[in-house]
Amino acid sequence: MRVCVDAMGGDNAPGSVLEGILSALAADRDLHILLTGPAPVVEPFAAAHPDRVEAVPTSQVIAMDEHPAQAVRSKRDSSIVVGCRLVREGRADAFFTAGSTGAAMAAATLVMGRLRGVSRPALAAVFPTVAEPLVFLDVGANADCKPENLLQSAHMGSAYASVVLGCSAPRISLLNIGEEPTKGSQLALEAHELMAQGVPGFAGNLEANHLLDGLADVVVTDGFTGNVVLKLLEGTSRTLLSQVRDALTATTLSKLGALFAKDRLAVLKKRLDPEAYGGAPLLGVAGVCIIGHGNSTPAAVKAALEVAARAVRGGLIDSIADRAASGMAASLDAAKSTGESRERRSEGPA
């Protein structure tokens, strides 16, 4: 199992990345790391762990604020682009970076390429819920989606829930603003129809107030709405927990209460921590690609590497490729039969 890691990704790189790698190596004896980044960073680390880490020195780094596609095209020897190339060439089984999400998505799409039957890769997030974790996508790969993008996301998310989260029969829902199939935007209405025809385990529309209630294993939406949801959850968790903390430290009596309750609150905080679920997988590209949050801690890097290893061992890419191909075939059939029924209708009673 060889995972390529971008040593330079994220606000705390390379420190957090290297520390996370060490934890992951300790936990998984079959894990090997290919480390891309500047020679002065990657070579001493590889030299210190010769059996487990191989240095792949690169001469360029893509900064967080660069234009993603331009940076990927002009910086062929950057730690992100080289990492994706190692996967394409079969030298690595997966790639992880906590660097620029846009650049990582662009590099994976351009360098690894898309799987057949996938018109647009989608970025997924895994959320804690009151029950099992939820695969939620697209969280930002495509701000403007077509109904078929949502259909493909359903297939890809289902594969991820099966392979990586061990969910045997994923329940798939469409995020919408009403439960009934007749509710929603034009996009949601058309996506609902496609998903009802072609997605095994489709459980209909889900409203956002029930997103974290554990009613679905995979929830699909467009990349604009999905990104808003992701960031809103991040913001509200932070705001609410800090308000709870403020409330608990407002008076001497409540401070005493907080002291007595602090173990349980720590358990809660940990359970709500999205880092435990290890980065966002980019689904639909021809290789395992996990993108970490810019402020990934060592624990988040470790979790992401575990997810990458699980995805490789479980055959995530083949699973997505199978579903995408059959989904594509089914969609073509559906389009054909819809076309035929339209023809029949338009022939009508002459």
Q: Does 267 bind a second copy (CB under 8 A)?
A: yes
Out of 51, 130, 344, 345, the only residue in the binding site for a second copy (CB under 8 A) is 130
C-alpha distances (whole Å) from 342 to each of 151, 207, 339 are: 22, 32, 5
DSSP characters for 245-265?
HHHHTSSHHHHHHHHHHHHHH
Considering only residues 9-28, where is the footprint of a second copy by CB under 8 A?
none
Q: Does 173 bind a second copy (CB under 8 A)?
A: no
C-alpha distances (whole Å) from 290 to each of 243, 253, 258, 309 are: 32, 45, 37, 10
Residue 57: how many CB atoms within 10 A of its CB?
18
Retrieve residue 226's tokens.
């999905």
Q: 9: helix, coil or strand?
A: coil
Out of 48, 64, 261, 335, the only residue in the binding site for a second copy (CB under 8 A) is 261
Min CB(294)–a second copy separation in Å: 12
| Residue 54 and residue 78 in contact, taking contact as beta carbons nearer than 8 Å | no
Out of 186, 344, 346, 347, the only residue in the binding site for a second copy (CB under 8 A) is 186
DSSP characters for 31-82?
-EEEEEE-HHHHHHHHHHSTTTEEEEE-SB---TTS-HHHHHHH-TTBHHHH
Q: How many of the chain's residues bind a second copy (CB under 8 A)? A: 59
Stretch of 76-84, 194-202, 204-212, 310-318 contacting a second copy, by CB under 8 A: 204-212
Considering only residues 220-239, where is the footprint of a second copy by CB under 8 A?
221, 223-225, 227-239
Secondary structure letter of residue 114 according to DSSP: B
- The smaller minimum CB distance to a second copy, of residues 110 and 265, is found at 265
| Residue 296 and residue 303 in contact, taking contact as beta carbons nearer than 8 Å | no
Q: Does 135 bind a second copy (CB under 8 A)?
A: no
Q: Does 243 bind a second copy (CB under 8 A)?
A: yes
Min CB(262)–a second copy separation in Å: 8
- The smaller minimum CB distance to a second copy, of residues 49 and 210, is found at 210
DSSP characters for 97-112?
E-S-HHHHHHHIIIII
- The smaller minimum CB distance to a second copy, of residues 96 and 127, is found at 127
Stretch of 1-9, 69-77, 252-260, 341-349 contacting a second copy, by CB under 8 A: 252-260
Q: Does 265 bind a second copy (CB under 8 A)?
A: yes
Stretch of 69-77, 113-121, 256-264, 289-297 contacting a second copy, by CB under 8 A: 256-264
Min CB(277)–a second copy separation in Å: 17
Retrieve residue 131's tokens.
């029950």
- The smaller minimum CB distance to a second copy, of residues 8 and 139, is found at 139
Residue 274's contacts (CB-CB under 8 Å, 6 or more residues apart) are 125, 126, 127, 128, 233, 234, 293
Q: 159: helix, coil or strand?
A: helix
- The smaller minimum CB distance to a second copy, of residues 38 and 214, is found at 214
| Residue 135 and residue 217 in contact, taking contact as beta carbons nearer than 8 Å | yes
Instruction: Name the site residues for a second copy (rule: CB under 8 A).
Output: 130, 140, 143-144, 175, 177, 184-186, 188, 207-213, 221, 223-225, 227-241, 243-244, 246-248, 250-251, 253-254, 256-265, 267-268, 271-272
